[in-house]
Amino acid sequence: MAALKGKRKEYLTVKDLQKVLDSCKLHLNQIDEVWPNVYIGNVAVAQNKNALLKLADDSTHFDLDVYFQPAADFIHKGLKSPDGKVLVHCIMGMSRSSTLVLAYLMIYHHLELKQALQKVIQKRAIYPNRNFLALLLDLDLQLTRKKKTCQIL
């Protein structure tokens, strides 16, 4: 029986896990960062634009611009196929995915950034983070310069 008890301690039980959970002394918040850049929150936070913007600002160091052309090419190719439709998505559907769609509209439809933003916000509430907006401004400048160079030639 002693040998059996020794073996049994190798495996956790639901009761063991509940004891670990019961040892937590924190208060339940609407949102918490549980791992670097990993959050657990409730539905109120998911529907709170200001709270989401704070989270989006945490990820402002990502160089999304390296994906502008490949994503635009992918979207363009997908739309050219028979009955082509493309879903561009990210976790919240308001920053990364919208940034890539804006880049597509700028690259393939020759819209200026402001025009692209105006078109998209007629259909969906989006909010690219500040870094992504800066990257789109750079793209806008590059495309404007390219357009002027082509007109001169």
- Annotated catalytic residues are 90
Dihedral sign of CA atoms 87, 91, 92, 96 in order: negative
Rounded to whole angstroms, the Cα distance separating 136 from 102 reads 8
E strand or H helix that includes residue 40: strand 38-41
Q: Is 78 within 8 Å of 84 (Cβ atoms)?
A: yes
Interacting residues of 67 by C-beta distance below 8 A, sequence separation 6+: 100
